[in-house]
Amino acid sequence: MNPASTRRRTLALAALACAAVGLGGLAGCTSREPAPESRFLLLDGSTLASSALKGKVTLVNFWATTCTTCVAEMPELVHTFQKYQSQGFETVAVAMSYDPVDWVLNFSRSRQLPFKVALDRNGELARQWGDVKLTPTTFLLDREGQIVKRYVGQPDFAALHQLIEQLLGQG
C-alpha cells in the first residue's frame, strides 16, 4: 500500500473509531494525527503547501457553494478568522471539485471572504484529507500541523473558539 493510501485509511479508521464511541458527527472527533502534506491551489493562482501553515493554528474547511450549511456557516468562519488572525490563526476554505470555479470566485468576492480560498479541481485534496465527501467538513490543526479535531457539519462555534484559544495559548 502506498503512503497516501495508508494515510487515507488511517484517517478513515480514526473517524470510524470516533463515530463508534459517539464522538463523531456534529460533535467532532479529537485526535492528533498529522495533517496530510498538500498543495492548495488558491483563487489567485498561487499555491500554498500545508507545511507552510506550521507555526499557525489552522482551520481547513471543505465546502461548496451549493451546500446550504456551508453557506450558512460562512459568516461564522469569517468572524472566527477575524477574531484570531492577529494571534497566529489561519483559515483555508477548500471548494469541492464539483463546485464550478466561477461560482466559487463569485461567492468569495461577493462575501468578501478574508481568508485563503482554495480549489480542489480534481478531488485530490478531499482524498488526501481522509476522502472527504460530506460538506462542510472542517479540520482544526495545531501549530505543529497535527489534526486536533474534525467536524462533519457545522461546528459549535463557541466550543470551537475555546479550542482555538487553548491552541493559540500553547504557542
Q: CA angle at residue 90 from 123 to 145, to 5 degrees?
A: 70
The mean pLDDT of 136-143, rounded to a whole number, is: 98
Q: Going along the chain, which residue ranges are E strands? A: 29-34, 39-42, 47-49, 57-63, 89-95, 116-119, 137-141, 146-152
pLDDT in tens, 63-117: 999 999 999 999 999 999 999 999 999 999 999 999 999 999 999 999 999 999 9
- Could you tell me the domains of the chain? 3-169 (3.40.30.10)
> CB of 81 within 8 A of CB of 112?
no
Is the omega angle on the peptide bond into residue 136 within 30 degrees of 0, that is, cis? yes
